[in-house]
Amino acid sequence: MIGSGTTVLVATRNRGKSKEFAEAFGKLGIAVKDLHDVEGVPDIEETGTTFAENAFLKAKETADIVGIPVLADDSGLCVDELGGAPGVYSARYAGEGAKDADNNAKLLRELLQLKGAGSAAETGGGPETLSAARFKCALVLYDPADGSRIDAEGFVEGAILREARGEGGFGYDPLFWLASHGKSMAELTPAEKNAISHRGKALRALLSLIQ
């Protein structure tokens, strides 16, 4: 059973992400390592069709190698007018190795082609948007000792802007409009973003299940 005194490996090489998880798990007496602390873990191919499937693939395959509980996540953007795309392909929407600017450009191009040049919606006096959308995050904590898993998800609802706004954040943040804040995700302060982020919500849900 995962609890106080347990060590969990977070399947990431992102120091910022592992620090966020370490601070959260530390409150439960759970120590956190990341992929910088272990050897022999290859990049896990994300072949799942959902965020939860990809998170589980990464968690289980990594745990089978390292022999301790592993937490993995997968997240991305789902746009209603595109049938949920880019979804699990969010990071590589414009192709393998695509940069944020490439992915954003493809997203706008596809929405504008679909909707036509003059069909953006007004958002209550705010900027024009092209579609409702949401950021999703799935977390899976897998324990190889007994094959048990804990799943949690988090969501942030918003809309896709016709034009990018803001210099902060990364990925699709400049195109993601939050009517509740009157800002794009890229215009939020780090504290504002952390308070509403899909990963933060998923993490809080996961911790409540562990407790």
- Euclidean distance between CA atoms 134 and 203, whole angstroms: 17
d(CA 129, CA 67): 47
Task: Report the alpha-carbon distance of residue 157 to residue 179 in Å, rounded.
Answer: 9
Does 34 belong to an annotated binding site?
no
Q: Is 16 annotated as a binding residue?
A: yes
In angstroms, the CA 31 to CA 87 distance is 31
- Whether residue 75 is annotated as binding a ligand: the answer is yes
Q: Is 74 a catalytic residue?
A: yes
Asked, as a colleague might, if the bond just before 127 is cis with ω within 30 of 0, I would say no
149 marked among binding-site residues = no
* 74 marked as binding residue: yes
CA-based angle 53:55:59, to the nearest 5?
115
14 assigned binding-site residue: yes
At residue 185, φ and ψ (nearest 5 deg) are: -60, -30
13 labelled as ligand-binding?
A: yes
Beta bridge partners of 72: 140
According to the annotation, is 198 in a ligand binding site?
yes
Tell me whether residue 172 is annotated as binding.
Answer: yes
Q: Of these residues, 34, 73, 74, 143, which one is catalytic? A: 74
User: How many whole angstroms from its chain centre is CA 163?
Assistant: 22
User: What residues form the annotated binding site for substrate?
Assistant: 12-17, 75, 170-173, 193, 198-199
User: What residues form the annotated binding site for Mg(2+)?
Assistant: 45, 74
User: What residues form the annotated binding site?
Assistant: 12-17, 45, 74-75, 170-173, 193, 198-199
Residues with a catalytic annotation lie at 74
